[in-house]
């Protein structure tokens, strides 16, 4: 299995695989301060809910490093926490990581600052390491719902690139493949940013997992024709009733899956659950620049003057979800009751 180091922190520099350039160019993007980390998240050098959470945690480390010798350390840290937390609005793992760092800082206000810096760094390392472990546990639970010879459909990129390593939905796919289930994967291209076509396809090829890339509009035909046994997708935020925000197009897939009785699973760590909201209506959906739709690789494909609607995520209602695969097991109906048990 190939090791993909999406996020690596060494000698006070954060190294990220530049996901804007894959698969054509494999390049490492260096962040030397927390403002560069905020940029990397906002511009999607790094993306995927768990990956941006861990990246933001290292943003807090670099902010602490910068402010260590300055006055008003705690005031400046709070500003940096807010700044990093606002880099993208939908994935709750980002807010979760910021909150965890904030709690650590606030509960250690009385220790020397260089000692606090060490603890902040350790906490960021823990977030990164825990995410990989979580994904591996989740993959084992998820593998239980994958039958021999299954054809699996997936959307967006939920692999090592979207996490600290291994992946969520793609982690289950890895596990099924390496436990010899003879699976076959259909990967949606995932317009407009093509995370499926560029990133999932890249990971599938690296791992030698039998697969085909499809344009998003092929999925309905495959599902209707009985060519898909199970659909696995990730999540950016899960409400306590089970409504799930994920990459735009996920909702559409879930409707087709329900129509044709194909099991539709969300694979996500419990850090993706927002225990503060009751339904998906409360989730802020990010809208991104229109150039993501009007251009591909800088080349204009739509006429000048056309207006564009470009939401990055949608919400799949709980009724369309067969189960939510987490590191604590598979959550099934009734979601509200079973999700709250995890709090
Ligand atoms: O806009 P992105 O690429 O950050 O969106 C990513 C997704 O929607 C993923 O499906 C989700 O974060 C789960 S990743 C393990």
Q: Closest ligand 1 atom, CA of 233?
A: 10
> pLDDT band for position 3 (50/70/90)?
confident
Test site for ligand 1: of 17, 45, 162, 170, most ligand atoms within 8 A of the Cβ: 162
Instruction: Give the torsion sign (CA, 303, 304, 310, 312).
Output: positive
- C-alpha closest to that of 50 among 284, 316, 238, 197: 238
* Residue 1 clears pLDDT 90, i.e. is over it: no
CB of 316 closer than 8 Å to CB of 254: yes
Give the global pTM: 0.97
pLDDT tens, residue by residue, 243-273:
999 999 999 999 999 999 999 999 999 999 9
CA of 312 to the centre of ligand 1 (A): 9
Say yes or no: CB of residue 162 within 6 Å of ligand 1: yes
Q: Closest ligand 1 atom, CA of 246?
A: 8
Would you list the domain boundaries of the chain?
Answer: 7-135, 139-340
The per-residue pLDDT for 69 is 87
> pLDDT band for position 71 (50/70/90)?
confident
CA of 147 to the centre of ligand 1 (A): 25
- What is the average per-residue pLDDT within 273-284? 98
Say yes or no: CB of residue 131 within 6 Å of ligand 1: no
Q: Look over the chain and give the mean of its residue pLDDT values, rounded to a whole number.
A: 97
> Can you tell me the distance from the alpha carbon of 239 to that of 261, in angstroms, rounded to the nearest whole number?
24
* Residue 70 clears pLDDT 90, i.e. is over it: no
CA of 19 to the centre of ligand 1 (A): 12
CB of 324 closer than 8 Å to CB of 244: yes
Instruction: Give the torsion sign (CA, 54, 59, 65, 67).
Output: negative
Say yes or no: CB of residue 6 within 6 Å of ligand 1: no
The per-residue pLDDT for 140 is 98
Clarify whether 236 is annotated catalytic: yes
* Residue 2 clears pLDDT 80, i.e. is over it: no
- What is the average per-residue pLDDT within 212-229? 98
The per-residue pLDDT for 39 is 98
49 assigned to a ligand binding site: yes
Say yes or no: CB of residue 47 within 6 Å of ligand 1: yes
> pLDDT band for position 190 (50/70/90)?
very high
Say yes or no: CB of residue 50 within 6 Å of ligand 1: yes
- C-alpha closest to that of 225 among 259, 185, 191, 184: 259
Say yes or no: CB of residue 158 within 6 Å of ligand 1: yes
47 assigned to a ligand binding site: yes
ipTM of the shown complex:
0.99
pLDDT tens, residue by residue, 80-110:
999 999 999 999 999 999 999 999 999 999 9
Strands 299-300 and 237-238: unpaired
CA of 49 to the centre of ligand 1 (A): 5
CA dist 187 → 233, 276, 307, 314 (Å): 10, 32, 29, 18
Pick the catalytic residue from 236, 243, 274, 314.
236
Q: Closest ligand 1 atom, CA of 169?
A: 15
- C-alpha closest to that of 17 among 120, 157, 177, 214: 157
- What is the average per-residue pLDDT within 327-339? 98
**Which residues does 258 contact at the CB level (< 8 Å), separation at least 6?**
264, 319, 320
Domain 7-135 has CATH 3.40.640.10: no
Looking at the domain 139-340, which fold is it? Rossmann fold (3.40.50)
* Residue 156 clears pLDDT 90, i.e. is over it: yes
pLDDT tens, residue by residue, 106-141:
999 999 999 999 999 999 999 999 999 999 999 999
As given in the structure block, the two tokens for residue 230 are 């199970």
- What is the average per-residue pLDDT within 235-243? 98
């Amino acid at each position: 299995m190939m090791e993909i180091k999406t996020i690596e922190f060494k000698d006070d520099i954060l190294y990220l695989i530049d996901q804007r350039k894959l698969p054509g160019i494999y390049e490492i993007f260096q962040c030397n301060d927390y403002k560069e980390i905020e940029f990397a998240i906002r511009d999607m050098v790094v993306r995927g809910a768990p990956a941006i959470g861990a990246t933001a945690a290292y943003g807090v480390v670099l902010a602490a490093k910068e402010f260590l010798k300055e006055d008003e350390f705690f005031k400046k840290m709070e500003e940096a926490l807010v700044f990093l937390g606002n880099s993208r609005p939908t994935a709750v793992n980002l807010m979760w990581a910021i909150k965890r760092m904030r709690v650590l800082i606030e509960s250690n206000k009385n220790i020397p600052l260089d000692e606090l810096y060490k603890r902040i760094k350790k906490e960021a390392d823990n977030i990164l390491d825990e995410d990989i472990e979580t994904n591996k546990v989740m993959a084992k639970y998820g593998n239980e719902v994958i039958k021999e010879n299954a054809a699996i459909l997936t959307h967006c990129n939920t692999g090592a690139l979207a996490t600290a390593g291994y992946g969520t939905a793609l982690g289950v796919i890895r596990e099924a493949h390496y436990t010899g289930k003879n699976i076959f994967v259909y990967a949606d291209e995932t317009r407009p940013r093509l995370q499926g076509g560029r990133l999932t396809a890249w990971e599938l090829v690296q791992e030698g997992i039998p697969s085909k890339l499809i344009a998003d509009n092929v999925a309905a035909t495959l599902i209707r024709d009985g060519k898909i046994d199970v659909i696995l997708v990730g999540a950016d935020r899960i409400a306590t009733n089970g409504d799930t925000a994920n990459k735009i197009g996920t909702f559409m897939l879930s409707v087709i899956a329900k129509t044709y009785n194909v099991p539709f699973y969300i694979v996500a760590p419990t850090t993706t659950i927002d225990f503060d909201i009751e339904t998906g209506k409360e989730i802020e959906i990010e809208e991104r620049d229109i150039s993501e739709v009007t251009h591909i690789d800088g080349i204009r494909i739509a006429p000048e003057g056309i207006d564009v609607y470009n939401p990055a995520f949608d919400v799949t209602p709980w009724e369309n979800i067969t189960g939510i695969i987490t590191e604590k097991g598979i959550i099934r109906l009734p979601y509200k009751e079973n999700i709250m048990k995890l709090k």
